[in-house]
Amino acid sequence: MKIAIVGAGYVGLVTGACLADFGHNVRCVDMDPAKIAALQASRIPIFEPGLEELVARNMAEGRLAFDTSMAWAIAGAEVVFIAVGTPSRRGDGHADLSYVYRAAQDVASELTGYAVIVLKSTVPVGTGDQVERIIQDQRTGMPFAVVSNPEFLREGAAIEDFKRPDRIVIGTEDEFAREVMMEVYRPLCLNQAPILFTGRRTSELTKYAANAFLATKITFINEIADLCERVGGNVQDVARGIGLDRRIGNKFLHAGPGFGGSCFPKDLSALIKTAQDYGSNCRIAEAVASVNDQRKRAMGRKVVQACGGSVRNKTIALLGLTFKPNTDDMRDAPSIAIVTALQDAGARIRAYDPAGREQAEAVLQDVDYAEGPYEAAQGADAVVMVTEWDMFRALDLDRLRLSMRAPILVDLRNIYTPAEAGARGFLYTGLGCPSEVTAPSLPQESLLALP
């Protein structure tokens, strides 16, 4: 099939490369000349494992191409994916749909025949209706269909997620558009990927509901981690204990410094705003957003406490800056709030991230960047594990400690255990780990009832 992708960012690039790898003829268009020039030279502007090789191979085999010309991309296309960004709108938290609507106008101006317009961007309920009106107004009498097809890609595992998805959600009431979308995803039928057809508005809401639910699981286990620290429990064992329940599952039950990235924060905000617009309550989502913001700031205080209550004029080494491993994405990363809190407390920050330095330099000020984890730890008063990159899972703890000024290890991802860190001479602080507990006092009447 001839497919056009509007937007060569993260979602558009992964979608285009994978569809080309299925055998489709894919043309990607983007209005950023520098980005297109880089892609035409097989230089990938984002970090995503396996993507550079996938793009280069399909370009070499003639199935994938990039340009800034919308007319070139749309000409003869049977399916047009709109995969532009929908960031949070400044001031009110709504999704900024200006890029989507501009793309719809540009696509409409170049249509010459029937095409299925697919909203791959994450958009609030009703956006498909508005896109349909935009195209109808510009191309009266032109046959077309607008379909919702949200992405469910994890940064760092996007290619695997696209080619072996848990599900493919397609929102349309148009029977012919349904047949076209089945042809687009026909190669995935070999993997027996479940395709769920819904109404368009249902599909749009499904994306937001999924991310809100995952964010809720993360926030829940983080609060349980705090409780474990107070009562002497172990959050990792609690997570295993509840995760073995098939109704709950073990995914997204790893305590950490809070969620970030390009999806969860903005999608949670957009869901809350949508609910408010329609007069519906989303109090759980509101609580999740609030608790997560507070947690990020609390992680800085946790480091200060581990350092004896003060970090003034101390050097704190951060290992990992991106919001998760296998990406260079710094959007809403917990490290931003942690660095800010520590700097406000008078600390000097030295950091290392395997892929995120360039992005981090754009959002973090007065940070010294090291070339590796041991270089970051050299002379440091504490080391803080912020992002669970694989290379941090088997560090030489003896070498790490001997390079430091003080043997303080704050592990915000529970990569190590208190026992193994303690055996290497570290003063270890993790999340939800057992600590000294003072039982709450019983009321006097309860004491009288004791035998």
Give the closest residue to 223 by CA, choosing from 431, 65, 43: 431
**Between 189 and 417, where is the model more confident?**
417
Q: Find the mean pLDDT for residues 365-376.
A: 98
Q: How many domains would you assign to the chain?
A: 2
Q: Find the mean pLDDT for residues 40-45.
A: 92
173 and 265 in a single domain? The answer is no
Q: How confident is the model at residue 327 (pLDDT cuts 50, 70, 90)?
A: very high
Q: Give residue-wise pLDDT tens across range 52-85.
A: 999 999 999 999 999 999 999 999 999 999 999 9
Residue 82 sits in a domain of what CATH number? Answer: 3.40.50.720
Show the 3-state SS of 271-329: HHHHHHHCCCCCHHHHHHHHHHHHHHHHHHHHHHHHCCCCCCCCEEEEECCCCCCCCCC
What number of other Cβ atoms are within 10 A of residue 180's Cβ? 19
Distance CA 268, CA 18 (A): 28
pLDDT over threshold 50, residue 442: no
- For tokens 């101390």, the residue is 314
pLDDT over threshold 50, residue 446: no
Residue where one domain finishes, among candidates 134, 163, 197: 197
| Phi, psi at 40, each rounded to 5° | -65, -25
* Strand, coil or helix: 170: strand
442 and 310 in a single domain? The answer is yes
Give the closest residue to 435 by CA, choosing from 222, 231, 226: 231
193 and 205 in a single domain? The answer is no
β 408-411/427-429 pair status: parallel
Q: What is the pLDDT of residue 115?
A: 97
Q: Which of 263, 282, 307, 433 is catalytic?
A: 263
Q: Give residue-wise pLDDT tens across range 228-247.
A: 999 999 999 999 999 999 99
Are the C-beta atoms of residues 431 and 414 closer than 8 Å to each other? yes
Q: Find the mean pLDDT for residues 125-135.
A: 97
Distance CA 314, CA 132 (A): 58
∠ Cα 372 376 380 (to 5°): 160
pLDDT over threshold 60, residue 404: yes
Q: What is the pLDDT of residue 444?
A: 47
Q: What is the pLDDT of residue 440?
A: 55
Q: What is the pLDDT of residue 139?
A: 85
Distance CA 101, CA 123 (A): 11
Strand locations in 295-421 (E): 315-319, 348-352, 367-369, 382-385, 408-411
Residue where one domain finishes, among candidates 197, 222, 247: 197
Q: Residue 307 catalytic?
A: no
CB crowding 47-65: b at 16 or more within 10 Å, else e: bbeebeebbeebbeeebbb
Beta bridge partners of 35: none
Are the C-beta atoms of residues 432 and 226 closer than 8 Å to each other? yes
Q: Find the mean pLDDT for residues 128-148.
A: 94
Q: What is the pLDDT of residue 435?
A: 56
pLDDT over threshold 60, residue 439: no
153 and 250 in a single domain? The answer is no
Q: Find the mean pLDDT for residues 295-314.
A: 97
85 and 189 in a single domain? The answer is yes
**Between 189 and 422, where is the model more confident?**
422
Beta bridge partners of 196: 169
Q: What is the pLDDT of residue 142?
A: 87
∠ Cα 327 301 289 (to 5°): 55
- For tokens 């050299």, the residue is 378
Distance CA 247, CA 71 (A): 49
**Between 295 and 141, where is the model more confident?**
295
Q: Give residue-wise pLDDT tens across range 284-299.
A: 999 999 999 999 999 9
Q: Find the mean pLDDT for residues 377-399.
A: 97
Question: Residue 209 sits in which domain range?
Answer: 199-451
DSSP secondary-structure letter at 2? Answer: E
DSSP-assigned states of every residue in 98-116: HHHHHHHHHHHHH--S--E
Q: Give residue-wise pLDDT tens across range 210-229.
A: 999 999 999 999 999 999 99
253 and 376 in a single domain? The answer is yes
Distance CA 123, CA 293 (A): 23
Distance CA 409, CA 428 (A): 5
Percent of the chain with pLDDT over 70: 96
DSSP-assigned states of every residue in 49-98: TTHHHHHHHHHHTTSEEEES-HHHHHTT-SEEEE----PBPTTT--B--H
Residue where one domain finishes, among candidates 173, 197, 221: 197
81 and 212 in a single domain? The answer is no
238 and 382 in a single domain? The answer is yes
Q: How confident is the model at residue 447 (pLDDT cuts 50, 70, 90)?
A: very low
185 and 223 in a single domain? The answer is no
Distance CA 183, CA 178 (A): 9
Q: What is the pLDDT of residue 396?
A: 97
120 and 182 in a single domain? The answer is yes
pLDDT over threshold 50, residue 312: yes
DSSP secondary-structure letter at 147? Answer: E
The set of residues, in sequence order, having a beta carbon less than 8 Å from that of 126 and lying 6+ positions away, is 201, 204
- As given in the structure block, the two tokens for residue 363 are 């959002």
Q: Read off the pTM.
A: 0.91
Q: How many CA atoms lie within 13 A of 187 on its CB side?
A: 12
Q: What is the pLDDT of residue 191?
A: 73
Arithmetic mean of pLDDT over the chain: 94
Q: What is the pLDDT of residue 192?
A: 80
25 and 150 in a single domain? The answer is yes
347 and 365 in a single domain? The answer is yes
